[in-house]
C-alpha cells in the first residue's frame, strides 16, 4: 500500500491547490454530506481552481454509510462523466472519507482522491491510514478495502464550526494514540482543558496524534501485526456502537471507543499489569467528559454476540483484544473468555 501524504495546513487555498496539482485529472468531483455542503464547502468553493468541480452530496451521519449511498455515489460519478482519470475530493467527517474513499477506490477500478477531513475524528483517524468502507448487515465497516488517499489535508479551522460532542468524539481517538505511544503525549491529552479549547494547542496535539497513526500504519499497512495497536478500545467500543444503533439510540464513534477503553484498560491491568494510577486518571477523564452508555447485565449476551463478529477475531471464534502493559507497551492478539468479558462489563457498570 502506497504511503499517503498528510499535510497539516495553515493556508487552505494554497495547500489544496498543491494537492490538486499533484493529481492530474480530467474531471474533479467534490463529495460532501448535507452538513459539510452547508458549513464547509463555502470555505473552498470559491477557490478558482475548483470552479468546474462537480458536487455530489449525500445524507448525514452513519445511518447513510451503506450500500444504497455507495451506489448513489457510483451512479453520480458515472452519469456526470467520471473516468478512471478523474479526481474526487472527500470533504467531510469519517463517514464521508470512509464511503467516499471506498467509492473512489472501486469506481473504474480506482480513481485519485484527496481527503479533507472536517471533524476531529476524521482528522486523526478515519481519513488517515487507508481504511475505507461501509456498514453492512448491521455491522460496522463490514465491507471495505485498504485504499489510501493521494493526499490528506488537515486544517483545524474547520473545527471552529464543530459542536462539542463531535470534538470529544475525535478526541477519544487522540487519547487512544496517547495511550499506545508515550507518556508525555498521554499526559498532555488527559490534562487538556476540553471546556475552554485552545485551537492552536489542539492543532499541535492533532499533528502529534496523526504522526502516531502514520508511524504505526507505515510499519504494518494491512493490519497483520502492530497496526492492531490502533484497535485498542475498539473491540468493546464497536460492540457498544452496534448495540446503541440496534436500540435506535446511536452514539458517536469516539464515545463508544472511550467507553471501550474503560473496559480494555481494566482488562489490561488484570492481564498484563497496566498501572493502577494511570488507569484511574484515564478513566476519570473519560467519566468527566463522556458520560455513560446505559445497559444492564441482561444486555451482556447481545454485546458479546457483537464482539464475536469483530474483524480482528481468529478462526476459532475467540474474541481478540489489544492490551497495554504500560503506556506505549502494546500487547496484540490477546484473547478473553466470555466470563472475562462479562467481568469487564461489570467493571464498566460499577465505575462509570
**Arithmetic mean of pLDDT, 152-172:** 93
What is 50-78 written as a DSSP string? GTTPEEEEE-SSGGG-SHHHHHHHHHHHH
Q: How far apart are the C-alpha atoms of 99 and 304, rounded to whole Å?
A: 27
Report whether 112 contacts 54 (CB < 8 A). no
- The more confident residue out of 134 and 62 is 134
Per-residue confidence (pLDDT) for residue 3, from 0 to 100: 65
Per-residue confidence (pLDDT) for residue 130, from 0 to 100: 85
- The more confident residue out of 224 and 74 is 74
Per-residue confidence (pLDDT) for residue 22, from 0 to 100: 95
pLDDT tens digits, residue range 222-252?
878 898 999 999 999 999 999 998 999 999 9
Per-residue confidence (pLDDT) for residue 316, from 0 to 100: 64
Q: How far apart are the C-alpha atoms of 246 and 140, rounded to whole Å?
A: 12
SS3 316: coil
pLDDT tens digits, residue range 260-277?
999 999 999 999 999 999
Continuous segment of H or E residues that includes residue 5: strand 5-8
Q: How far apart are the C-alpha atoms of 165 and 226, rounded to whole Å?
A: 30
SS3 339: helix
pLDDT higher than 70, residue 317: no
Question: Which pLDDT band, with edges at 50, 70 and 90, does 140 fall under?
Answer: confident
Residue 192 DSSP class:
S
Please, what is the average pLDDT of the chain? Answer: 93
**Domains in the chain, please, with CATH?**
5-161 (3.40.50.1970), 164-351 (1.20.1090.10)
User: Which candidate, 84, 305, 79, 328, places its Cα nearest to that of 187?
Assistant: 328
Backbone phi and psi for residue 295, each to the nearest 5 degrees, phi listed first: -155, 170
Q: How far apart are the C-alpha atoms of 223 and 146, rounded to whole Å?
A: 10
Question: Which pLDDT band, with edges at 50, 70 and 90, does 349 fall under?
Answer: very high
Per-residue confidence (pLDDT) for residue 205, from 0 to 100: 95
pLDDT higher than 60, residue 119: yes
Q: Up-side HSE of residue 139: CA atoms within 13 Å toward CB? A: 13
Per-residue confidence (pLDDT) for residue 336, from 0 to 100: 94
pLDDT higher than 90, residue 300: yes
pLDDT higher than 70, residue 258: yes
Question: Which pLDDT band, with edges at 50, 70 and 90, does 16 fall under?
Answer: very high
List alpha helices for 132-249, DSSP H. Answer: 164-181, 183-190, 199-219, 234-246
Per-residue confidence (pLDDT) for residue 106, from 0 to 100: 97
- The more confident residue out of 135 and 315 is 135
pLDDT higher than 90, residue 129: no
The model's pTM: 0.86
Per-residue confidence (pLDDT) for residue 180, from 0 to 100: 97
Cell of 56: 455530489
**Arithmetic mean of pLDDT, 9-36:** 96
Q: 57: which strand partners? A: 32
pLDDT tens digits, residue range 203-229?
899 999 999 998 998 888 887 889 899
Report whether 20 contacts 114 (CB < 8 A). yes
Cell of 75: 451512479
Q: How far apart are the C-alpha atoms of 118 and 122, rounded to whole Å?
A: 7
Amino acid at each position: 500500500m502506497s504511503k499517503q501524504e498528510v499535510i497539516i495546513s495553515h493556508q487552505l487555498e494554497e495547500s489544496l491547490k498543491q494537492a490538486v496539482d499533484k493529481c492530474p485529472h480530467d474531471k474533479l468531483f467534490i463529495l460532501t454530506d448535507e452538513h459539510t455542503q452547508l458549513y464547509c464547502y463555502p470555505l473552498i468553493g470559491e477557490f478558482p481552481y475548483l470552479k468546474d468541480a462537480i458536487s455530489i452530496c449525500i445524507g448525514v451521519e452513519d445511518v447513510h454509510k451503506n450500500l444504497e449511498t455507495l451506489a448513489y455515489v457510483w451512479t453520480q460519478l458515472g452519469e456526470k462523466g467520471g473516468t478512471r482519470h478523474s479526481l474526487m475530493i472527500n470533504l467531510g467527517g469519517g463517514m464521508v472519507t470512509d464511503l467516499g474513499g471506498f467509492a473512489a477506490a472501486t469506481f473504474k477500478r480506482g480513481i485519485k482522491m484527496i481527503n479533507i477531513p472536517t471533524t476531529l475524528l476524521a482528522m486523526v483517524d478515519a481519513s488517515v491510514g487507508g481504511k475505507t468502507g461501509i456498514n453492512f448487515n448491521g455491522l460496522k465497516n463490514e465491507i471495505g478495502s485498504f485504499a489510501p488517499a493521494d493526499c490528506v489535508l488537515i486544517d483545524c479551522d474547520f473545527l471552529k464550526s464543530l459542536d462539542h460532542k463531535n470534538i470529544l468524539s475525535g478526541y477519544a481517538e487522540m487519547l487512544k494514540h496517547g495511550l499506545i505511544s508515550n507518556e508525555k503525549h498521554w499526559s498532555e491529552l488527559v490534562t487538556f482543558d476540553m471546556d475552554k479549547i485552545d485551537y492552536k494547542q489542539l492543532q499541535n496535539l492533532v499533528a502529534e496524534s496523526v504522526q502516531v497513526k502514520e508511524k504505526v500504519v507505515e510499519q504494518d499497512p494491512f493490519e497483520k501485526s502492530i497496526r492492531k495497536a490502533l484497535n485498542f478500545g475498539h473491540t468493546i467500543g464497536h460492540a457498544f456502537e452496534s448495540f446503541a444503533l440496534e436500540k435506535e439510540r446511536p452514539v458517536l464513534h469516539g464515545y463508544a471507543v472511550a467507553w471501550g477503553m474503560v473496559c480494555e484498560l481494566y482488562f489490561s491491568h488484570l492481564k498484563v499489569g497496566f498501572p493502577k494510577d494511570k488507569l484511574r486518571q484515564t478513566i476519570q477523564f473519560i467519566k468527566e467528559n463522556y458520560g455513560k452508555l446505559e445497559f444492564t447485565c441482561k444486555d451482556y449476551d447481545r454485546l458479546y454476540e457483537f464482539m464475536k463478529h469483530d474483524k480482528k477475531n481468529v478462526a476459532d471464534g475467540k474474541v481478540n483484544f489489544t492490551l497495554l502493559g504500560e503506556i506505549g507497551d502494546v500487547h496484540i492478539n490477546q484473547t478473553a473468555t466470555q466470563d472475562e468479558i462479562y467481568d469487564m462489563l461489570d467493571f464498566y457498570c460499577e465505575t462509570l
